[in-house]
Amino acid sequence: MYIFTIDAERYDESSLNIVQIESLINKHRNIIGKIKKNKRYYEGEHDIKRRQKKYKGSANNKVICNHAKDISDTATGYFMNSPISYNTYDGDDETLLDKLTDAFDNADVDDADSDNAHDMSVCGVAYEYVYIKQDTTDIAVRNIEADHTFLVYDDTIEQNLLFGVYYYRFKDAITDQYCYRATVVTKNYRYTMIIDCSTHKHRMIEEMVPHYFGDVPIIEYRNNKLCIGDFEQQISLIDAYNKLMSDRVNDKEQFVEALLVIYGSLMGDDNEEVSETMKILKENGLLELPSEARAEYISRTFDESGMEVLRKAIKEDIYTFSHVPNLTDENFVGNSSGVAMEYKLLGLQMITGEKEKYYKKGLRRRIDLFCNYLGLKAININKNNIKITFTRKLPKNLNELAQMIANLSGKVSNETLIEQLPFVEDASNEAEKVKKENEENIKTQQALFKSQNEVPFYDEKDAPSDSEDDESDSIGINKAS
């Protein structure tokens, strides 16, 4: 991971040195070969495609098994398969938090998060640009190419961020020369410039423009400390796997095209007759020979079982060293317990934890930029009171989960227990619904209990007289007697 640093004492954000910007861009172009190679492998442009034939007429299959894409897609899906949620630590300022989340929704941050996670996995680093939409006052967020973006820090031990650069190459239609258009953003200003590297003639397209974010609006998201992609260190194994599979197909093809050797006879007296005999042989598959002659095929023999063992070993090493599991492996079966599944995904969880750590740093900067800009609209949000939560969606044993929740009931808050349920998106809202349902059930039970224990009301004129009681008694006695 190369970090660009300059002398802080010679830096002035109100007067940028364009020649210095050109020098930084040229240095960045020289170190992005790794990123371009990772992107090439993800897209299926592997080195096996450049392999030449060993000799004329030999088989030269170029089989591509894109483990790079499989590893990256699996790691990205596990890391960012659900939108990031934001809450407050103490439960206060919910109204102000809604203002921030509404701004996030308008800026489509979920799409930017998905693109950032993909670039982190492939390139090892991702960048996003926070800006104001044209002719509006709304904030927008966009993922920008990692191989066209870099940040510049000062040369102190703290490495304070000074500015960010986003550039791309284009061809000038008038001069017919290739130039670079660069956008440079500092803590308070934005510059747009044209850099002509062939003639070293540079110019500003527009004067510096304030952006009102209070910090550099380009955010860096690292995949890990050294900005290494998820499959970057397994490229040599991927190449070996491609070569092995290509050679297996070549061997099969050469086996089918085996040489026919004839002993004790000729195919013909001259080349024309030999060609005619070969044509008949290919069309009819029949060859007539004298009784003393014989024919047989000469073919290469190869150890298929040994090659299969080597193939499995290389494939296992690819997934083992990347810490990303092969989900098509027979070890991932549906009847595995929750603990067994956790052990199988332990490596993936470790690299995902590293991703989360660095992504939260970037999200803190995003929140700072949004809060600084919303503060200009008199929306004062306590950015230190915002909790960032990542959610995983994995197959879970709901019976084990229900038993765990039942055992912890009364020892852990209900909201925390509800958060463990994979089918509940908002734990606080769900806890409030449960509370209301319990209150309604209590009221219903109280009303039912009251109706069952009420004493029946009788009117005095409907009550039986004493004489009727005596008569009924005497009747009863007579009947009894």
Q: Is 393 left (phi over 0), alpha (psi -120 to 50) or beta?
A: beta
Distance CA 9, CA 193 (A): 23
Residue 293's identity, in one-letter code, is A
pLDDT the model gives residue 309: 92
Comparing 189-193, 350-354, 458-462, 476-480, the range with the smallest average pLDDT is 476-480
Rounded Cα gap, residues 186 and 208, in angstroms: 10
pLDDT, average across residues 140-169: 94
Among 161, 159, 166, 160, which Cα is nearest to 24's? 166
Whether 479 is in a domain gets the answer yes
What does the DSSP assignment read for 103-123? HHHHTTHHHHHHHHHHHHHHH
Which residue has better confidence, 381 or 163?
163
Q: What is the pLDDT of residue 367?
A: 95
Range of the domain at 454: 398-481
Residues 6+ apart with CB under 8 A from 217: 129, 130, 131, 164, 185, 211, 369
Is 244:311 a contact under the CB 8 Å cutoff?
yes
Examine residue 406 and state whether it is found in any structural domain, yes or no. yes
Q: What distances in angstroms separate CA 355 from CA 75, 78, 232, 267, 322, one per listed residue?
A: 10, 11, 15, 70, 14
Q: Which tops the pLDDT comparison, 426 or 152?
A: 152
The residue ranking higher by pLDDT, 312 or 452, is 312
Please answer whether residues 414 and 440 qualify as being in contact, where contact means their C-beta atoms are separated by less than 8 angstroms: no
Would you state the pLDDT for residue 458? 52
In a domain? residue 263: no
Higher pLDDT, 394 or 449: 449
Q: Output the six-digit token pair for 243.
A: 């070569």
In angstroms, the Cα distances linking 401 to 42, 78, 394, 396 are: 37, 20, 13, 8
Q: Give the model's pLDDT for residue 462.
A: 55
424 in a domain, yes or no? yes
Q: How far apart are CA 278 and CA 252, in angstroms?
A: 23
Q: What are the pLDDT digits (tens) for 13-49?
A: 888 888 888 889 989 999 999 999 999 999 999 999 9
Residue 223 reports pLDDT greater than 60: yes
* 108 Rama sector, left if φ>0, alpha if ψ -120 to 50, beta otherwise: left
CB 130 within 8 A of CB 139: yes
Q: Is residue 426 assigned to a domain?
A: yes
Q: What is the per-residue pLDDT across 360-378, written as a single tens digit (0 to 9) for each? A: 999 999 999 999 999 998 8
> Is pLDDT above 50 for 456?
yes
65 is a domain residue: no
Average pLDDT over residues 49-59: 83
Q: Of 31, 22, 18, 26, which is closest to residue 146 (Cα–Cα)? A: 31
Number of other CB atoms surrounding residue 38 within 10 Å:
25
According to the model, what pLDDT value does residue 370 have?
95
In the block, tokens 């998106």 appear at: 425
**Per-residue confidence at 185, pLDDT binned at 50, 70, 90?**
very high
The residues facing 153 across adjacent strands are 5, 161
Q: Which two tokens stand for residue 82?
A: 């659900």
Q: Is the dihedral of CA 307, 308, 313, 318 positive or negative?
A: positive
Structurally, how many domains does the chain consist of?
1
The confidence band for 81, taking pLDDT boundaries of 50, 70 and 90, is: confident
The pLDDT of residue 96 is: 84
pLDDT at 454 over 70: no
Q: Where is average pLDDT lowest: 8-12, 199-203, 364-368, 386-390?
A: 199-203
Of 128, 132, 118, nearest in space to 148 by CA: 128
SS3 state at 34: helix
Q: Give the Cα separation of 345 and 213 in Å (integer).
A: 40
Closest CA to 323 of 348, 342, 340: 348
Question: Is position 127 within any domain?
Answer: no
Q: Is the pLDDT of residue 73 over 60?
A: yes
pLDDT number for residue 391: 83
pLDDT in tens, 86-137: 988 876 667 888 899 999 999 999 999 999 999 999 999 999 999 999 888 8
Least confident range from 31-35, 139-143, 240-244, 388-392: namely 388-392
> What mean pLDDT value characterizes the chain?
84
Most confident of 36-50, 254-268, 289-303, 399-413: 36-50
Q: Is residue 408 part of a domain?
A: yes
Mean pLDDT of 199-203: 64
163-172, 210-219, 461-470 — which one is most confidently predicted on average?
210-219
Three-state secondary structure call for residue 336: coil
Query: Which one of 50-59, 75-84, 282-291, 401-410 scores highest in mean pLDDT?
Result: 75-84
Band (pLDDT 50/70/90 cuts) for residue 471 is very low
